[in-house]
Amino acid sequence: AQKVTQAQTEISVVEKEDVTLDCVYETRDTTYYLFWYKQPPSGELVFLIRRNSFDEQNEISGRYSWNFQKSTSSFNFTITASQVVDSAVYFCALSPLEAGNMLTFGGGTRLMVKP
Amino acid sequence: EPEVTQTPSHQVTQMGQEVILRCVPISNHLYFYWYRQILGQKVEFLVSFYNNEISEKSEIFDDQFSVERPDGSNFTLKIRSTKLEDSAMYFCASRDRMNTEAFFGQGTRLTVV
């Protein structure tokens, strides 16, 4: 069975602060994929990143960066210099490498960035 | 940019009625999914569909649910006899091949009264 835990249900920061969203996962698979999705107030799910389990290199995309630590089963997401437009619910998700490839989502972290 | 489209955006139905939620996946995609999100909760997998058949389904996807790809473009989720607890946002997603990211539609908010 797979499980994704996002212990932070809600985070509030002031604009320009850095913020890290935690994600811890459980899986018996040796190879898998990890994802982050953003859900703005409008409700849609916006893909942010996909990471292979065999690639532990951290990734940076603009103000976003991701830290994948296989040893601790964590895939944390950092927003640098947060902006009001970053306010959303962020979901971490896990997918096996097998037929179906369905996503198991964490409970989400609601990020509120105040001006 | 290609996108997954879902209709309607919001549907209100009476308990016991049948509803059909419609999705048009991205045209060259081969794998299709339905997920649901009860208000304020996490997104949950319902079913995956490939090569005109269900490849996986969750415990939520019981006999009240069915999926169909009636033509080359649409992918539908039918709930045969809706219950109050079926009220949720339903997301359709599609993927072009194994091991790539799934693209989600904007969702259909289903309200059962």
Tens digit of each residue's pLDDT (9 = 90 or more) over A73-90: 999 999 999 999 999 999
Q: Is residue A54's pLDDT more than 90? A: no
A41 touches chain B (CB under 8 A): no
Please give, rounded to a whole number of angstroms, the shortest distance from the CA of B80 to a CA of chain A. 24
Tens-digit pLDDT string for chain B (113 aa): 779 999 999 999 999 999 999 999 998 899 999 999 999 899 999 999 998 899 999 999 999 999 999 887 899 999 999 999 999 999 999 998 766 788 999 999 999 99
What is the 8-class DSSP label of residue A86? G
- Chain B residues lying within 8 Å of A105, measured CB to CB: 42-44
- Distance in Å from the first CA to the final CA of chain B: 36
Query: B109 contacts in A (CB within 8 Å)?
Result: 43
| Angstrom distance (rounded) from CA B4 to CA B106 | 8
Contact status of A16 with chain B (Cβ, < 8 Å): no
Answer yes or no: is pLDDT of A99 > 60: no
What distance in Å separates the CA atoms of residue A114 and residue B61, rounded to the nearest whole number?
40
| Cross-chain CB nearest to B107 (options A35, A43, A105) | A43
Cβ-contact A70, A53 below 8 angstroms? yes
Q: For residue A70, report the phi and psi dihedrals to the nearest 5 degrees.
A: -65, -30
In angstroms, the CA B23 to CA B4 distance is 7
